[in-house]
Structure 1
């Protein structure tokens, strides 16, 4: 293995862990419960932060794995893979929305604008400051993640070039703390809840928390190994998540400490399943949760307009059951058609620079 300037020389390879798909399944259920307005689950919108922490962990792990092997990042390859993973399903969803939304909501006059803002990944700041897209409110989190994908790889390389081997976790920890303090600053400025909630700059802390864990997993500082031995004592923290479900929208306690508690709880869960054994791992690798997690991106795309339509006519139990079933069906249709095709393009092997096409000859 080549020596990487900012990484301790330890072999690292990110392997598939079904419990991570199970955690995605839990997150998407929480988000759907929130949008279905289920009683006692007003704070279930915090399920999005489970996605953020997990995404930060996985993306940073992959980037560090590549940098560890090659002493560099192939930015084009990274963005190309992100494009084929995310954009085809998004464009299919938005095309269906543009065609069907006017039939379901004849009074809508901003359908095309909402679709355009969503496709350009501007929904986070669009919603925070311009109330657009109003009918595709859930697009904000995809925009937050996309902005992270744009900013984080070059910033990560810069940090790797500057820090001592095995010390990457220090500046990433600092960034996590600073991002949390930045959110608190705007709370102190009495900015509206929704203006803080939806923006990338005030919601990057979850993604950075996951990135911090990725750095700790690969660098393994002495103190983190000691902490791992005391994991049973911190496994109580994830039990705080159900208590947070009572936090209502527009409650600034979410911004002050609620998001941080969820981020820390998500980190504990991710650490708990790294060895792929134990009670938490077995719970999260339940087949139904894993399957739901594999379809979670599509379910997230489709669920909001489905739930929004159903909740205008039906009680919340019907909205939850029917909304989840319809969203899964549409997600599966998307996954086994256009997404499968896109993934084949994404995973095509890269042609060697000196490879030449040899013309076919007869005989």
Structure 2
């Protein structure tokens, strides 16, 4: 089986580490970090960038996309950890919250990746609120490979990025449309169709880097101006929940800042050095598991402790559970994911865990 890989870049794991810290700050209700929920948009941009880069490499290497291979790899990367988490949740949630009556329903909705629309319109899952972003990404994984293949066939050589840019603008306009229609904040915030802009922003960057060889150099030469975008992110922490400014322009600022950061870390420099700090990289490697486990942990701790304890203890417990999952179930699944169809290797190649995360 042909492998389509990206060169491992530890700074991308560092960016994941930043994103998961922001999510924890939000869910721990840390003062002055009301807008930290925007950290999930960093995950979206990064996912769109990595997935589209791999698909474009495969297309230009093979002249086609192997959909079965793509979906199989996504399944083995995501489902084992999710299934383990949901099994633990179903077992232990009745003991932690004996009054809950929607545990099994919430687990099922999460397992089927329906949490984004379930939360937006049916308030389910309530106790697994964080599952919405996984559903958004899963919908992207289902739709994007065949759509990208269609766009590549129809686009003029070197012009795919223009089509994706148009999709990004249309997706932004679609979200703005619902804001001006007076739809509730949470109904807009959680849905795939109104949150696809981050994934498309990452896809746009992938197409630009793939098609326009001088694009990264042009951005690098202007970083001293463009780095004001990432530096503006702390100002967005004042955008609290239910503030429609987050929908109107806050999300877009984060997406553009993420693009600038991803270009900046294509080569070594100050941003690269900051994001390759060992603690951040390790946090990023465990970020999927931490994201899965953190919400029930933080929710339980919030009822008993102040926010500093919730933040520190929540991160420690979530990271420990994520490490347990990663070095057992997830490593086993990754060996199956990366094995040739008739081979099951004893160990996973060292470089490969980032590309299809």
Match of 1:356 in 2: none
Match of 1:95 in 2: 87
After superposition, the C-alpha distances for 1:73-121 in whole angstroms (9 at most, x for unaligned) are: 0000000000000000000000000000010001000000000000000
Using structure 1 for the length normalisation, give the TM-score: 0.92
- The unaligned stretches of length 5 or more in structure 1 are 1-11, 353-363
Pairing of 1:203-352 with structure 2 (within 5 A) = 203-220=195-212, 225-275=217-267, 277-351=268-342
Question: How far off its partner does 1:221 sit?
Answer: 6.1
Does 2:78 correspond to 1:86?
yes
Match of 1:67 in 2: 59
From the superposition, tell whether residues 25 and 96 of structure 1 become closer, same or farther in structure 2 (CA, over 3 Å).
same
From the superposition, tell whether residues 94 and 13 of structure 1 become closer, same or farther in structure 2 (CA, over 3 Å).
closer
Classify the secondary structure of the residue corresponding to 1:109. coil
Q: 1:125·1:199 contact (CA, 8 Å) conserved in 2?
A: yes
Which range is displaced more, 72-81 or 218-227? 218-227
Match of 1:194 in 2: 186
Does 2:177 correspond to 1:185?
yes
Does 2:155 correspond to 1:137?
no
After superposition, the C-alpha distances for 1:263-293 in whole angstroms (9 at most, x for unaligned) are: 0000000000011x10000000000000000
Total equivalences in the alignment: 340
Q: What CA distance in whole angstroms lies between the structure 2 residues aligned with 1:38 and 1:69? A: 47
Q: 2:175·2:194 contact (CA, 8 Å) conserved in 1?
A: yes
- The unaligned stretches of length 5 or more in structure 2 are 344-357
After superposition, the C-alpha distances for 1:157-190 in whole angstroms (9 at most, x for unaligned) are: 0000001111110000000000000000000100
Question: How far off its partner does 1:228 sit?
Answer: 3.6
Q: What CA distance in whole angstroms lies between the structure 1 residues aligned with 2:98 and 2:186? A: 27
After superposition, the C-alpha distances for 1:49-85 in whole angstroms (9 at most, x for unaligned) are: 0000000000000000111100000000000000000
Match of 1:5 in 2: none
Q: CA RMSD in A?
A: 1.3
Q: What CA distance in whole angstroms lies between the structure 2 residues aligned with 1:164 and 1:52? A: 27
Q: What CA distance in whole angstroms lies between the structure 2 residues aligned with 1:92 and 1:170? A: 41
From the superposition, tell whether residues 251 and 13 of structure 1 become closer, same or farther in structure 2 (CA, over 3 Å).
same
Q: What CA distance in whole angstroms lies between the structure 2 residues aligned with 1:39 and 1:329? A: 25
Q: What CA distance in whole angstroms lies between the structure 1 residues aligned with 2:229 and 2:101? A: 45
Classify the secondary structure of the residue corresponding to 1:174. helix
Q: 1:25·1:292 contact (CA, 8 Å) conserved in 2?
A: yes
Q: What CA distance in whole angstroms lies between the structure 2 residues aligned with 1:59 and 1:86? A: 14
Alignment equivalent of 2:101, drawn from 93, 109, 130: 109
Question: How far off its partner does 1:226 sit?
Answer: 3.4
Using structure 2 for the length normalisation, give the TM-score: 0.93
From the superposition, tell whether residues 159 and 38 of structure 1 become closer, same or farther in structure 2 (CA, over 3 Å).
same
Q: 1:43·1:248 contact (CA, 8 Å) conserved in 2?
A: yes
Alignment equivalent of 1:122, drawn from 106, 114, 118: 114
Q: What CA distance in whole angstroms lies between the structure 1 residues aligned with 2:316 and 2:222? A: 40
Q: 2:44·2:137 contact (CA, 8 Å) conserved in 1?
A: yes
